[in-house]
Amino acid sequence: MNKGFSIDCIGYALFAVFVVLIIPWSANYSGYDLNVYARYLVLGMAAAAVALSWGTAGILNLGQALTFGIGSYIMAMHLKLKASGAQAGGMPDFMVWTNMEKLPWFWEPFQSVSFTLAAGILVPVAIASLIGGFMFRGRITGVFVAIITLSFMLAVQLWIISEQRFTGGQNGLTGLATLELFDWSVDVYGLAFYYMVAGCLLVVLTLGLLFLRSKAGLVLRAIKADPERTRFFGYDVSTYEIVAFAISAGIAGIAGMLYAMILGFASPTYMGLSLSLAFVIWAAVGGRESIVAATLGGIGVNMAEGRLSDLFFDQWTLILGVIFIVVVLFLPRGLFGLVMDLRIKLESHFMANPISRMNTSLDKHRSETTASQREGK
């Protein structure tokens, strides 16, 4: 909690500069590239969501794509309604084709922008709290959490695909209007939109970091190390797990909403196992212990994919698989772990500094202690 704060701040500042200044500059402040970068930022946000509960609390959520997908569907519902004003009863086209008589009641509230924005965060949070409560109050951990979250996501995905008259089915929600936020018509290829996305990302990361760097985050780390012991100190472990889980879901929901705007559609394909695992891979590559590193992992991998998939079109997925195996085997703490280890090595060479002292002179201390113990006995 206390340590290393100033150094971390430098890291955060660099990240902010990268996102706010360097990227837009390299995209020449407008156009298609900017939209692509905005997409990378959003995917990075999703990776951060996974890292928050996984890296800190040890909760592997294989169903993160569910909350992400719900966020995107919520935004898409609003935008679809906006585009369907001319239709009978304001119904989206697929409802007309499937012979629906009128707009289902649960679609109605999404006419309002404010409701949509609130729902995009609160619905994923509510769902996560319910599923989280169901699991964590039952003291379910580890692999079983992964399976339950995965199964639930698949069940919802199946439902969405099957209920075409409510959800657009396999095709998803397409033909979306442009979002209008309080008189601002959001052009997703414009600089303003990019800054909106970047702003959301920075706000989300800041709030996440505030949470993780507080004692609550410390308790989560204790829970990851030894949940039973944590209980014996009076902490209600399941509540902490539910909160972490819900916060991750909220972040994923925001990312999902932005993604629907960027893509221009929402689809059940983005609510599946592959995307969930992709989030996990990006967080793993960046470093699951740090949400900023995980975000960079998401941005980095997708950026690499964007650049290299033209060159290696056929083999990109293969390369990704290999990278993933390598990371899991040799870099369990991701690139972040690598940087941290390097930092410690450098410091112990060049600086006399408490951080280096604590780790490198430990062996000396231990051998001294054991020697005196032997004498004492």
- Closer residue to another protein, CB minimum distance, 349 or 364: 364
CB 301 within 8 A of CB 285: yes
Contact residue for another protein among 122, 129, 213, 344 (CB under 8 A): 213
Contact residue for another protein among 202, 221, 305, 309 (CB under 8 A): 221
CB 356 within 8 A of CB 348: yes
Interface with another protein in residues 243-302 (CB under 8 A): 243, 273-274, 277, 280-281, 284
Residue 313 binds another protein (CB under 8 A): no
- Closer residue to another protein, CB minimum distance, 182 or 313: 313
Build a one-symbol-per-residue string for 54-93: x at contacts with another protein by CB under 8 A, - elsewhere. Answer: ------x---------------------------------
Q: Which span sits near another protein by CB under 8 A: 67-75, 96-104, 261-269, 323-331?
A: 323-331
Residue 232 binds another protein (CB under 8 A): yes
**Shortest Å, Cβ 143 to another protein:** 5
Encoding tokens for residue 34? 């900017």
Longest dimension (CA), the chain: 91
Encoding tokens for residue 228? 């039973």
Residue 233 binds another protein (CB under 8 A): yes
Residue 377 binds another protein (CB under 8 A): yes
Interface with another protein in residues 147-176 (CB under 8 A): 147-148, 150-152, 154-155, 158-159, 161-162
Residue 135 binds another protein (CB under 8 A): yes
**Shortest Å, Cβ 244 to another protein:** 9
Contact residue for another protein among 181, 236, 307, 351 (CB under 8 A): 236
- Closer residue to another protein, CB minimum distance, 140 or 308: 140
- Closer residue to another protein, CB minimum distance, 14 or 158: 158
Place of tokens 């959301």: 200
- Closer residue to another protein, CB minimum distance, 36 or 340: 340
**Shortest Å, Cβ 355 to another protein:** 8
